[in-house]
Amino acid sequence: MAQGLKILAVVGNPKVASRTLDVAMEITRQIAAWLDTAGQATEIDAIDIAEMSAGLLDWPSAPVNAALERMKSADLLIVASPVYKASYTGLLKVFLDRVPMEGLGGLPAVPVMVAAAPGHGLAVDAYLRPLLVEIGASCPTRAVFMLESQLPEAEARVAKWLEGAKPVLARALGVAVN
């Protein structure tokens, strides 16, 4: 097996261990399982920003700096937020504001949002994707948008998204998989 790829979920829900984290981890697990099945070892991890919220405005902050280093050392980011006031959360923004412009150097990322109403469906592409691109991420796949009412079907919805995303993710990660 080749050296493992690091897949990291970064979640900006103000609630620790949120449903947004659950969705991000479902995506992370399914990508890892697909890559593992194809012979590509993977390592998965998560940053639940709510766990360090008190230190986000401290300069310097050892836990925040460590989380940013984990993020920069990943091979693929899954960046997730609930929809708050038609956009991503301030918590996610404060965390990502610590990354300099172009600081991610082309790191592949998948923007993910969870919302209560279908009218927020464009928020993931209109707001979260541009934020990720501004800090240097590459967002090669379709974003993932899930309604709260669809959460019981998250596994199947993620599997459907992943089927279409596999060829693009394989190219972005530089791996040969089927």
Does 178 fall in a domain? Answer: no
* CATH assignment at residue 167: 3.40.50.360
Secondary structure class of 46 (helix, strand, coil)? strand
* C-beta of residue 12 within 8 angstroms of C-beta of residue 111: no
* C-beta of residue 102 within 8 angstroms of C-beta of residue 135: yes
pLDDT digits (tens, 9 = 90+) for 43-85: 999 999 999 978 898 888 999 999 999 999 999 999 999 999 8
Q: How many domains are there within the chain? A: 1
pLDDT digits (tens, 9 = 90+) for 119-176: 999 999 999 999 999 999 999 999 999 999 999 999 999 999 999 999 999 999 999 8
Does 107 fall in a domain? Answer: yes
Does 70 fall in a domain? Answer: yes
Whole-angstrom distance, CA of residue 175 vs CA of residue 80: 24
Q: Is the pTM of this model over 0.85?
A: yes
Whole-angstrom distance, CA of residue 51 vs CA of residue 164: 33
Q: Quote the domain boundaries for residue 129.
A: 5-173
